[in-house]
Structure 1
Amino acid sequence: MFDRVKNILNKHTKRYKVACLGFYPAIAQYNGIATIGGYSPNYPLQYKHSFRKIIEKTLNNNPEMKRQFDYWGSYCYLQVTSLKNTFMGNRPKNIVIDASELNFKQMKKLGAKYILSTYELKHNQNLKFMAKVESPNKFWTIYIYKIL
């Protein structure tokens, strides 16, 4: 499935990074896709502060997410308020979510050109839907969006 995702992304550019929503960035990384997020015990604090700007509105809407992000230094994951009760890695519900609270300009500053999401995203002027990658025997459907 991720081979198909990489083929779609490679048609548009040879160099890209993605932001992952609804699943752990390590899954994309294990499949050879560079991400702006992840779980690492060792990265610069300045990067965490830069990544935080992407999800700042989400964190301000949810004190538990804010506490967890600010005081657990190892991870940088995309989060949105509408998924606050969804554990990343669970099979997503068939819903369309609003990702407008994310700071897309900041994502681009960190090098992301695309979002890979296990959820369909509500229409947003900052995103262009590119493809839906699915397979009947796979756990997830992956939606690919270009960050404009």
Structure 2
Amino acid sequence: VLYFLVNYQLFELTFAPSGFVTHRVEYSYFYDRELSFVGSVLKTLEIFFISHFHAGTVLSLPILLAALLARLNIGRHTQAERVIWTIVAICVFYGFYTWIVYLFGEHFPMLVEYKFERVRIMLPFLWMLAFALALGQLRVKSPRVVGFFLAVQFIVTVASHDEFQHNLRQLAGVPKKPNFKEFVAEDLYHQIDAYIGRPKDSYRVIHLGMKPAASQYNGFYTLDALMAIYGLDYKHQFRKIMKQEIEKDEDIMVYYDEWGNWCYLLSSELGKESSAFLIGKDQDRVVEELNIDTRALLDMDGEYLFSAVRILNAEQIGLQFEKTFEHPDSYWKVHLYHVVGPPAMAPGDPTDKF
């Protein structure tokens, strides 16, 4: 029910079509998946015992042991067992969903567009429900055992929590990623806003090596974004900006063309992993040759590029370097480029790519 509520817009587009064509029609479910029976079995076992990064970390073995002890304790099937069998069914469904799409996806496109495999988000709740039911059946005869299981699960849950690990790294002085204050970097963006000196709604910005969410938080209007639903026409128009760049690397091209939820400016030199959009001020990275169409960028009212990396061929592609911005409380170092458009080229010049 929650999945339907959160994704109501997607279901509305399906069951009450308005003529709006989303980028999801170009989804290719198999762009990053292999059809393998052994792989599906391993995927099932992995999510059962290790969980999934979108579903939270749960230590399943102590819960299974608690459920087994509860079964032996009362000598009959327990409610915890029934919940665990539900978990098994979800894990098998998730592990073999690729085969379901392969066999039925052509006739039922919703299997691809909605990715019902994401029922996995229910797993942490179901594991905790099974755990609570098992402990409830153990508490009368074995209160110390219950205390032991609670202590183990608490320690593991806290120790594996992403924010806990991040705080430990912060205390040790070796942060792996920014905290909220460093990420949104309000003081840094105030500096950029003051430098540009124009109403934010009068221009659009795009990013390289950094996520647009921070700019959006600070009130900037961005051409790039992480979007679950947006227009197919917009996806194609945005692609024109980086057509030459993504065609250098087939993996990156497929990543955008056959998925595209991350409507980001992609670079063949930076790659497509999450770290390629979290380049901090201490990394001091550069892009030697960025091939983007700045005329297409201007056509979308894109006037500024916020870049976490220095672009060595900026002038050749129509980017004018303005200034580098830093702040002690910011994770980012932003190199600000003004989009002036491709330089004029002589007719017939073979270097004219525009």
User: Conserved in 1, the CA contact under 8 Å of 2:191 and 2:325?
Assistant: yes
Q: Are 2:326 and 1:134 aligned?
A: yes
Q: Are 2:305 and 1:115 aligned?
A: yes
- Of the structure 1 ranges 40-49 and 123-132, higher mean CA displacement relative to structure 2 is found in 123-132
What CA deviation, in whole Å up to 9, does each residue of 1:31-72 have, x standing for no partner? 101111111122110000010111111221111111111111
| Aligned alpha-carbon RMSD (Å) | 1.7
- CA distance in 2 between counterparts of 1:100 and 1:41 reads 27
User: Conserved in 2, the CA contact under 8 Å of 1:80 and 1:102?
Assistant: no
TM-score (norm 1): 0.90
Q: Which amino acid aligns with 2:244?
A: K
> Where does structure 1 differ by over 6 angstroms across 4 or more consecutive aligned residues?
none
Q: Which amino acid aligns with 2:264?
A: Y
- Of the structure 1 ranges 94-103 and 45-54, higher mean CA displacement relative to structure 2 is found in 94-103
Report deviation, 1:94: 1.4
Q: Which structure's residues are more often helix, by fraction?
A: 2
- CA distance in 1 between counterparts of 2:239 and 2:195 reads 28
User: Conserved in 1, the CA contact under 8 Å of 2:279 and 2:332?
Assistant: no
- CA distance in 2 between counterparts of 1:100 and 1:58 reads 7
> Structure 1: where are the runs of 5+ without partners?
none
User: Conserved in 2, the CA contact under 8 Å of 1:94 and 1:119?
Assistant: yes
- Alignment partner for residue 276 of structure 2, among 59, 69, 87? 87
- Alignment partner for residue 56 of structure 1, among 223, 243, 248? 243
> Structure 2: where are the runs of 5+ without partners?
1-187, 341-354
- Alignment partner for residue 124 of structure 1, among 315, 334, 338? 315
- CA distance in 2 between counterparts of 1:145 and 1:109 reads 17
Q: Which amino acid aligns with 1:89?
A: L
- CA distance in 1 between counterparts of 2:235 and 2:330 reads 32
Distance 1:25 1:131, change over 3 A: same
Q: Are 2:205 and 1:26 aligned?
A: no
- Alignment partner for residue 44 of structure 1, among 231, 246, 259? 231
- CA distance in 2 between counterparts of 1:97 and 1:128 reads 15
- Alignment partner for residue 103 of structure 1, among 293, 301, 308? 293
User: Conserved in 2, the CA contact under 8 Å of 1:80 and 1:99?
Assistant: no
Q: Which structure's residues are more often strand, by fraction?
A: 1
Report deviation, 1:99: 4.8
1:143 maps to 335
- CA distance in 2 between counterparts of 1:102 and 1:73 reads 18
Report deviation, 1:136: 3.1
- CA distance in 1 between counterparts of 2:289 and 2:304 reads 13
TM-score (norm 2): 0.39
